[in-house]
């Protein structure tokens, strides 16, 4: 079911983003007087098509939604009738052709602005970005973070929830080698700025980054009282019940829930003798935590959850939204920011400074689509915005086959005063196609490799 769910939302996402991209080409082509023969979403077998009459545009939907195209009257693709010559792409001015080609990626960037605008107006509920225990030697400790501080913004990007804070830090790691400004509010309400420095080699290894960063969400101190017991778990079989207070384990007094959790995790497969309090009476219980592998380490699990005092969870949550004009400004700023991040990452990968592990193929994108959809509408919309930005920026790169490659040819034409020869363009396209196929193959290889990790 998870796979089908991911595939469905992947198809929805790609279909929408491709449709917007191709509509950009289509709309500007029509506005500049170019005749459009076909507007197609997807490849492969045609499952639906519509054409008002033989002289109008044919609209096509195909079974594989991994791309699309807009077919215009173009002398390079075959003979054009005398009646259609005035409406041919090749007969239009340089600026009209440039606008048509640029419209696809520009529409993707505009879509991201619209999505973020909607997200900021809809609002979001999440956990407040409160800093948890700061372990000595971690990067946050070196930057001067203190437990209980609330993160206000990262790299001048407002962060209201914990998830948004982590996402912004992760997208800003390339700027963190020289210092990433993180503004926090202390428990006394004072605003401070910590400079987080993340070595570049650490930023390129996600697992190592999380370990060395040491940024944990704040956990309120809670007594070790059982709130729930999972059916058929080790705890259930041993007789633990909701409301039980853990007094000690193997004679070691426990006063905090997290100390109790750590004790269980460290005693996987070992018999533990517990002293508990139930309804005012002391009882002894023996149990052996189940051994499970988590983050490549063996850890103990017994299947219980903490009892959370009434109102505590609500106090740790935040709900926010922005009025239309502020939301629009924030949406533009967020789109510009992530466009810059995407461009910088692509540049670093091109010169070999960033790892190609940052590439994501269709398998990874499908997984992200499914996970974001499970988390709710706002999460899925954010996913759409990020992918739309990536698609827009990628297509603007001066790579043959992509829109940016065509724009490069137009720039050369503007400088030399005449179009680039067909032979040069053919060679240019062949090189670009080879490079693009190699990149796609690498992304697929990395996707498959991740499946077996």
Query: Following DSSP, what letter does each residue of 38-68 receive, concatenated?
Result: EEEEEEEEEEEEEESSTTSPEEEEEEEEEEE
149 close to 185: Cβ distance less than 8 angstroms: yes
Residues 6+ apart with CB under 8 A from 195: 143, 179, 180, 181, 182
Give the DSSP letter string of 259-304. Answer: HHHHHHHTTTTS-EEEEEEETTEEEEEEE-PEEEEETTEEEEE--E
Strand, helix or coil at 407?
helix
User: How many angstroms from the chain centroid is the CA of residue 279?
Assistant: 48
Read off the tokens for 197: 């420095």
Q: Would you call 307 helix, strand, or coil by DSSP?
A: coil
What is the number of other CB atoms lying within 10 angstroms of the CB of residue 313?
11
Q: How far apart are CA 33 and CA 363, in angstroms?
A: 40
DSSP label of 92: S
Composition of the chain by helix, strand, coil, percent to 5: 50, 20, 30
Q: Report the distance separating Cα 347 and Cα 224, nearest Å.
A: 50
Identified catalytic residue from 22, 149, 164, 183: 22
Active site residue 314: no
Q: Which is nearest to 364 in space by CA: 438, 441, 447?
A: 447
Residues contacting residue 395 through CB under 8 Å, at least 6 positions apart:
21, 104, 105, 108, 402, 403, 404
- Listed in sequence order, the residues at least 6 apart from 310 whose beta carbon sits closer than 8 Å to its beta carbon are none
Tokens 């098509």, residue located:
49
Which is nearest to 149 in space by CA: 138, 169, 165? 165
**Annotated catalytic sites, by residue?**
22
């Amino acid at each position: 079911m998870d796979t089908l769910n991911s595939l469905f939302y992947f198809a929805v996402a790609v279909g929408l983003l491709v449709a917007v991209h191709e509509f950009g080409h289509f709309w500007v082509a029509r506005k500049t007087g170019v005749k459009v023969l076909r507007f197609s979403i997807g490849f492969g077998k045609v499952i639906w098509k519509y054409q008002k009459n033989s002289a109008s545009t044919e609209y096509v939907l195909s079974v594989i939604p991994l791309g699309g195209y807009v077919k215009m009257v173009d002398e390079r693709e075959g003979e054009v009738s005398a009646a259609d010559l005035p409406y041919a792409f090749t007969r239009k001015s340089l600026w009209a052709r440039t606008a048509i080609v640029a419209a696809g990626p520009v529409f993707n960037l505009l879509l991201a602005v619209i999505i973020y605008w909607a997200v900021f107006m809809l609002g979001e509920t999440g956990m407040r970005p409160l800093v948890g225990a700061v372990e000595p030697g971690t990067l946050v400790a070196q930057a001067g973070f203190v437990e209980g501080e609330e993160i206000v913004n990262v790299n001048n990007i407002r962060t209201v929830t914990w998830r948004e804070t982590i996402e912004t830090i992760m997208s800003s790691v390339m700027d963190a080698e020289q210092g990433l400004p993180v503004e926090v509010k202390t428990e006394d309400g004072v605003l401070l700025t910590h400079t987080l420095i993340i070595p570049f080699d650490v930023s390129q290894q996600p697992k190592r980054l999380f370990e060395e960063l040491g940024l944990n969400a704040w956990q309120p101190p809670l007594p070790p009282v059982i709130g729930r017991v999972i059916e058929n778990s080790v705890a259930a079989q041993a007789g633990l019940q909701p409301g039980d207070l853990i007094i000690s384990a193997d004679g070691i007094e426990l006063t905090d829930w997290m100390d109790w959790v750590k004790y269980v995790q460290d005693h996987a497969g070992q018999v533990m003798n517990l002293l508990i309090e139930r309804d005012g009476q002391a009882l002894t219980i023996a149990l052996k935590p189940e051994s499970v592998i988590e983050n490549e380490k063996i850890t103990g699990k017994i299947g219980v959850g903490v009892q959370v005092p009434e109102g505590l969870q609500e106090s740790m949550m935040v709900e926010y939204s922005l009025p239309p004009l502020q939301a629009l400004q924030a949406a533009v700023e967020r789109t510009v920011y992530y466009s810059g991040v995407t461009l910088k990452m692509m540049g670093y990968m091109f010169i070999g400074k960033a790892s190609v592990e940052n590439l994501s193929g269709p398998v990874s994108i499908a997984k992200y689509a499914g996970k974001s959809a499970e988390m709710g509408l706002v999460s899925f919309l954010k996913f759409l915005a990020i992918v739309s930005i990536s698609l827009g920026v990628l297509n603007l790169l001066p790579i043959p086959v992509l829109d940016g490659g065509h724009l490069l040819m137009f720039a050369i034409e503007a400088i030399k005063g005449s179009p680039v020869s067909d032979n040069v363009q053919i060679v240019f396209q062949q090189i670009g196609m080879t490079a693009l196929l190699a990149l796609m193959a690498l992304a697929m290889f990395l996707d498959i490799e991740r499946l077996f990790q």
